[in-house]
């Protein structure tokens, strides 16, 4: 998580109202204003912006500081670069257009906001040359009480910074819940943190139901990453983190974009810059894992960035350590190969660009759809791969199976709903159906694949459910035969009594308890069926169906060339424990109980596999 303890006063340069009460953002072109496009001089020293984000610790390291040092990765490549603050993205865009810098630094979504402006002139059309990180915990949606899943934000007022990094996260969260921006009321704040920020407005204005915030504001509002505010010590009573980039870990891609004219003229220079960042990133990640993060060189790198950003922003080394190692995950050389070139990557360059452009057009931030060029690099070239040792692109499992199983078992004991991100959705199946065919369930398969790609940091529980009708018949037959059960009334409306006390057959938990205690088991010479055996068979069948559905989804993705992480899925057999209709009175009602249910749930960091690069 971001462990900053000071305000990061990142504001747009153009004057904005503190809050705009309309769903559409201001046109980014209006924010930038008129700028004369200038040529980028072929100067010995280039200017590049950096932003207050963990990925730029590697940028500082690659350069040896704000100015290139001879021993740095960029210095060794013969480059000379001056790093300048770029948190004012509007001004960054103006400088890019004017030719003061050939680079634009931000999230993919922020660059998409600028797409209409920078792509007007063929000289300034954007080429995305590098992905540095994914946000994997530093950006979150904090909500008030009563909002339990993302679908609950329908009709609610949400606030985020205009021109900031959270628009992609909002877009993905709404899409995952089957909502659009028209289903919520959006308010826009001036700053990302501090005065006139989403967090501060959420604190003072109870009409705001949810705020997109960075970690320092999350901690201030809620008192902790996974706790609810008590109202004491500055927290907001009932405020809690609903979800964020820990789960939506493919929403915010951190990139560097370069002008097309500079790219065409100076491609060797561009490749040296990219290689230097690859090398710096690889070394930084390697050092971060040595001596539990206390390696002297690793500490020196963190301290260098701490001094660049200011000790008033990062009072302690742990603050910046959290920014660089918890809020984000580096993708490195392997992640760039995957992002730009892998077929079937649902969160790669093409998919991310489409979603980002859809977003800025729908929000009125851009009026014209115009995208960027991908890097187009040969990643096997001597320049790009020079000095690297970790270039493999074979994915490792994203989650630790044993840890996931332990957590899911704990959630089943009573905290499942609290950890559920999206409302469960179910797929019904026919009696005795053993296979799930694409012709029948193709839409459901694709929906699961899409949601899993979007919620890369969440675990999907596939739970098989069985119908209790056969169990209930066995219970009543056994109880009547044993003489412990009596009934009154007519068929279809019987009332049952166990040892003279009313027994409600719709109380599935009570019925299961009696079955487990052996109340209805046949004795010697009895000819009725064993309810315990029927319950066990239903449990086994429901688990088998859940397993089959998971296997079928994985096969579906592979058949269609789509990337899916098997470790993101776990299956459970629920049996008859949670029927939708406790006493089904027709086959149509019984079929409603025969279902496979999907839940996306939050898991702890301990359940996530540790790996060098996140791709």
* pLDDT tens track for 82-132: 999 998 999 999 999 999 999 999 999 999 999 999 999 999 999 999 999
Where among 244, 274, 307 does a domain terminate? 244
CA atoms within 13 A on the CB side of 296: 0
Residues 472 and 366 in one domain: no
Average pLDDT of the residues in 164-176: 93
Is residue 392 domain-resident?
A: no
- Least Cα distance to 610 among 352, 292, 301 occurs for 292
Integer Cα distance of 47 and 67 in angstroms = 10
Residues 420 and 355 in one domain: no
Integer Cα distance of 154 and 147 in angstroms = 10
In the predicted structure, residue 13 carries a pLDDT above the cut 50: no
Residues 466 and 534 in one domain: yes
Residues 231 and 290 in one domain: no
Lowest mean pLDDT among 413-417, 469-473, 608-612: 413-417
Quick one: pLDDT at residue 30? 93
Would you give the distance in Å from CA 185 to the centre of its chain?
22
Residues 192 and 331 in one domain: no
Quick one: pLDDT at residue 237? 96
Quick one: pLDDT at residue 25? 61
Residues 452 and 561 in one domain: yes
Lowest mean pLDDT among 183-187, 554-558, 600-604: 600-604
Quick one: pLDDT at residue 487? 94
Helix (H, G, I), strand (E, B) or coil at 185: strand
In the predicted structure, residue 413 carries a pLDDT above the cut 90: no
CATH number for the domain spanning 593: value is 3.30.1330.60
pTM: 0.85
Residues 177 and 257 in one domain: no
CB 13 within 8 A of CB 333: no
In the predicted structure, residue 495 carries a pLDDT above the cut 90: yes
In the predicted structure, residue 1 carries a pLDDT above the cut 50: no
Tokens 């009602």 belong to residue: 589
Quick one: pLDDT at residue 396? 85
- Least Cα distance to 141 among 171, 108, 109, 105 occurs for 171
Where among 244, 272, 292 does a domain terminate? 244
Residues 115 and 259 in one domain: yes
Residues 273 and 381 in one domain: yes
In the predicted structure, residue 394 carries a pLDDT above the cut 90: no
Residues 224 and 266 in one domain: no
* Stretch (H or E) spanning 459: strand 459-465
Would you give the distance in Å from CA 365 to the centre of its chain?
23
User: Max Cα separation, the chain?
Assistant: 98
Is residue 408 domain-resident?
A: yes
In the predicted structure, residue 11 carries a pLDDT above the cut 50: no
Query: How is residue 530 written in tokens?
Result: 């064993």
Is residue 546 domain-resident?
A: yes
Please give the share of the chain, as a percent, with pLDDT higher than 90.
Answer: 77
- pLDDT tens, 206-238? 999 999 998 889 999 999 988 999 999 999 999
Is residue 164 domain-resident?
A: yes
In the predicted structure, residue 78 carries a pLDDT above the cut 70: yes
The Cα-based distances of 598 to 132, 419, 433, 466, 525 in angstroms read 32, 13, 18, 15, 43
Is residue 92 domain-resident?
A: yes
- pLDDT tens, 532-577? 999 999 999 999 999 999 999 999 999 999 989 999 999 999 999 9
CB atoms within 10 A of CB 290: 12
Quick one: pLDDT at residue 385? 93
- pLDDT tens, 260-278? 999 999 999 999 999 999 9
Is residue 12 domain-resident?
A: no
In the predicted structure, residue 19 carries a pLDDT above the cut 90: no
Average pLDDT of the residues in 413-422: 80
In the predicted structure, residue 2 carries a pLDDT above the cut 90: no
In the predicted structure, residue 589 carries a pLDDT above the cut 60: yes
Q: What are phi and psi of 159, to 5 degrees?
A: -125, 140
Is residue 11 domain-resident?
A: no
Residues 417 and 563 in one domain: yes
In the predicted structure, residue 21 carries a pLDDT above the cut 70: no
Q: What's the number of domains the chain is made of?
A: 3
Domain that holds residue 570: 399-615
CATH number for the domain spanning 215: value is 3.40.190.10
Quick one: pLDDT at residue 24? 58
In the predicted structure, residue 136 carries a pLDDT above the cut 60: yes
Quick one: pLDDT at residue 12? 36
Residues 285 and 301 in one domain: yes
Is residue 361 domain-resident?
A: yes
- The angle that helices 531-559 and 508-516 make with each other, rounded to 10 degrees, is 120
Mean pLDDT (the chain) is 91
In the predicted structure, residue 142 carries a pLDDT above the cut 70: yes
Average pLDDT of the residues in 499-521: 94
Average pLDDT of the residues in 61-76: 98
Quick one: pLDDT at residue 423? 81
Where among 182, 217, 244 does a domain terminate? 244
Order of strands across the sheet that contains 19-20: 19-20, 185-189, 157-161, 210-214, 139-143, 240-244
């Amino acid at each position: 998580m971001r462990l900053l303890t000071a305000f990061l006063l990142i504001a747009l340069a153009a004057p904005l109202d503190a809050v705009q009460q309309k769903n559409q953002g201001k046109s980014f072109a209006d924010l930038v204003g008129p700028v004369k496009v200038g040529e980028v001089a072929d100067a010995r020293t280039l200017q590049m912006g950096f932003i207050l984000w963990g990925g730029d610790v590697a940028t500082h390291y690659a350069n040896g500081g704000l100015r290139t040092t001879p021993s740095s990765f960029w210095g060794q490549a013969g480059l000379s670069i001056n790093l300048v603050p770029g948190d004012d993205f509007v001004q960054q865009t103006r400088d890019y257009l004017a030719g003061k810098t050939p680079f634009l630094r931000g999230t993919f979504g922020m660059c998409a906001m600028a797409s209409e402006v920078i792509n007007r002139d063929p000289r300034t059309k954007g080429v995305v040359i590098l992905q540095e990180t994914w946000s994997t915990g530093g950006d979150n949606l904090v909500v008030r009480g009563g909002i339990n899943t993302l679908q609950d934000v329908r009709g609610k007022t949400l606030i985020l910074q205009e021109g900031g990094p959270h628009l992609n996260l909002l877009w993905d969260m709404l899409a995952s819940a089957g909502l659009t921006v028209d289903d919520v009321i959006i308010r826009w704040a001036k700053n990302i943190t501090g005065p006139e920020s989403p967090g501060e407005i959420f604190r003072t204005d109870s009409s705001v139901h949810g705020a997109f915030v960075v970690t320092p504001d999350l901690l201030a509002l809620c008192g902790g990453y996974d706790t609810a505010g008590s109202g004491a010590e500055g927290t907001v009573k009932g405020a809690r983190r609903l979800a964020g980039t820990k789960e939506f870990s493919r929403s915010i891609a951190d990139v560097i974009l370069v002008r097309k004219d500079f790219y065409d003229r100076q491609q060797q220079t561009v490749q040296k810059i990219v290689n230097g960042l690859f090398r710096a990133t690889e070394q930084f990640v390697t050092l971060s894992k040595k001596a539990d993060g206390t390696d002297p060189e690793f500490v020196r790198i963190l301290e260098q960035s701490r001094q660049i950003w200011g000790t008033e922003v990062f009072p302690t080394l742990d603050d910046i350590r959290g920014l660089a190692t918890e809020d984000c995950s580096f993708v490195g050389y392997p992640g760039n190969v995957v992002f730009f070139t892998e077929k079937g990557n649902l969160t790669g360059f093409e998919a991310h660009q489409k979603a980002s452009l859809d977003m800025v057009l729908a929000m009125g931030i851009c009026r014209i759809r115009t995208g960027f060029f991908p890097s187009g690099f040969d990643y096997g070239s001597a320049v790009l791969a020079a000095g690297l040792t970790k270039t493999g692109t074979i994915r490792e499992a994203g989650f630790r199976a044993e840890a996931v199983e332990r957590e899911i078992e704990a959630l089943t004991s009573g905290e499942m709903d609290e950890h559920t991100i999206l409302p469960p959705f179910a797929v019904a199946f026919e009696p005795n159906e053993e296979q799930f065919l694409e012709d029948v369930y193709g839409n459901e398969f694709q929906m699961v694949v899409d949601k899993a790609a979007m919620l890369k940091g969440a675990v999907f529980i596939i739970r098989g459910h069985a119908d209790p009708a056969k169990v209930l018949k066995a219970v009543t037959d056994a109880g009547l035969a044993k003489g412990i059960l009596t009934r009154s009334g007519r068929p279809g409306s019987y009332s049952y009594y166990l040892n003279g006390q009313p027994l409600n057959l719709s109380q599935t938990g009570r019925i299961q308890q009696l079955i487990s205690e052996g109340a209805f088991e046949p004795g010697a010479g009895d000819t009725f069926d064993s309810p315990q055996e029927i319950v066990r068979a239903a449990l086994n069948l429901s688990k088998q169906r859940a397993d089959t559905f998971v296997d079928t989804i994985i096969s579906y993705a592979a058949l269609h060339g789509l990337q899916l992480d098997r470790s993101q899925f776990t299956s459970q057999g629920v049996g008859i424990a949670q029927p939708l209709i406790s006493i089904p009175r027709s086959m149509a009602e019984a079929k409603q109980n025969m279902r496979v249910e999907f839940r996306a749930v939050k898991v702890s960091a301990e359940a996530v596999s540790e790996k060098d690069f996140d791709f």
